[in-house]
Copies of this chain bind each other. A is one copy, B any other.
Amino acid sequence: MAKQLIECVPNFSEGRRQDVIEAIVKPFKEQKGCYLFDYRADEDHNRLVVSLAGEPQAICDAVMAASKVAVEKIDLNTHQGAHPRMGAVDVIPFTPISGISMEECVELSRDFGKRFHEELNVPVYYYEDAAIRPDRTRLEVIRKGQYEGLKEEITKPERHPDLGEPKLHPTAGATVIGARKFLVAFNVNLNTTDVEIAKTIGKRVRSSGGGFTAVKGIGLALEDKGMVQVSMNIVDYDKTAIYRALEFIRMEAARWGVTVNGTEVYGMIPIAAMLDSAAYYMQIDDFDPNQVLELKLLELMREEN
């Protein structure tokens, strides 16, 4: 059986003090089975965004260790930054990549939340697929008013945390933990300067406009390129494969005689999302990801570790 692989992108409220940033990141560099893809500290946001992948247990151990450092070193009472936040450890999303279902990832995030609360005494809210209350799927809703506002609001029953007393940690606030699907950012550039066409297609492709359930989209101008773009987030590539969104946009654009100039995958993408579209266009029957040499090698290496 293939080992479980998850992604995790914890966000910490520190983007300025280099020593604190390095201390938070240290466990991610040292924990066996946890692979640090990237970490970006933004001074204006005063926020650190870490990108990890690996085995669930290793990821949890490393995030726990890093969170201890963050809770110890960050005081939300003096923290200022352009990005909304309510905790020293602001948000921890777990994302299934392979060998693990969303249900298992939800369970993982709930267990991690308990451990997090017990070890750090920071109240926890569960969000996205791990939300316990239906009104708490969205991060923005939970984080409304930020640290400063929630200090008082948390006493109201509708703002009580899912774990812990209705009282923020005196310096570390509260933390949002959950599970969500991998988000693929996919942009489609159109051979026109008419931004209204991109805006109209952006509306039609997205779920709120009657388009695909797993697509969020907007239209915008790429002025330096003399083109327009339909910029999308595909929030569940299993449900809405990339090629479907792309071909839908191509079809809509054809209405104005406009064609697709090129596309862009922004940031990381799981191989399944690429192979799925490749298999469609190449009309491959019964393609098995294990036929891909590098994926087979990855599996063998992970079994060995």
Looking at chain A's contact residues, the main secondary structure is mixed
Interface flags for A36-80 (1: CB within 8 Å of B; 0: not) read 110000000000000001100000000000000000000000000
Q: Is A82 an interface residue (CB 8 A)?
A: no
Identify which of A35, A98, A293, A297 gathers the most chain B CB atoms within 10 Å of its CB. Answer: A293
Instruction: Report if A277-B274 is in contact (Cβ < 8 Å); known contacts: A53-B297, A284-B263.
Output: no
Please give me the residue from chain B that is nearest to A188 by CB atom: B283
Residues of B near A287 (CB, < 8 A) are 265
Of the candidates B268, B271, B285, the one whose C-beta lies within 8 Å of that of A264 is: B285
A292 pairs with B269, CB closer than 8 A: yes
Residues of B near A254 (CB, < 8 A) are none
Residues of B near A223 (CB, < 8 A) are none
Q: Is A1 an interface residue (CB 8 A)?
A: no
B268 pairs with A296, CB closer than 8 A: yes
A282 pairs with B285, CB closer than 8 A: no
Interface flags for A272-305 (1: CB within 8 Å of B; 0: not) read 0011011001111111000111111110111001
Measured CA separation A67–B115 after assembly (Å): 53
B262 pairs with A283, CB closer than 8 A: yes
Residues of B near A285 (CB, < 8 A) are 262-264
A53 pairs with B292, CB closer than 8 A: no
A301 pairs with B305, CB closer than 8 A: yes
Interface flags for A236-265 (1: CB within 8 Å of B; 0: not) read 000000110010000000000000111111
Measured CA separation A47–B269 after assembly (Å): 41
B292 pairs with A281, CB closer than 8 A: no
Count of identical protomers in the assembly: 2
Instruction: Report if A298-B296 is in contact (Cβ < 8 Å); known contacts: A263-B283, A263-B284, A274-B278.
Output: no
Measured CA separation A114–B180 after assembly (Å): 55
Residues of B near A282 (CB, < 8 A) are 242-243, 246, 263, 277, 281
Measured CA separation A267–B290 after assembly (Å): 9
- What's the nearest-Cβ distance from chain B to residue A176, in Å? 23
Residues of B near A243 (CB, < 8 A) are 281-282
Residues of B near A226 (CB, < 8 A) are none
Q: List 17 A-B contacts (CB under 8 A).
A: A5-B297, A35-B301, A37-B297, A53-B297, A97-B294, A246-B282, A246-B283, A261-B283, A263-B283, A263-B284, A264-B284, A265-B291, A268-B293, A269-B291, A274-B274, A281-B282, A298-B301
Chain A to chain B: the 8 pairs with minimum beta-carbon distance, closest first:
A281-B281, A278-B278, A262-B285, A35-B300, A298-B298, A271-B294, A263-B283, A268-B293
Known: A264-B284, A270-B292, A281-B282. 12 other contacts (CB 8 A): A37-B296, A53-B297, A97-B293, A97-B294, A246-B282, A265-B284, A265-B287, A268-B291, A269-B291, A275-B278, A294-B298, A298-B298
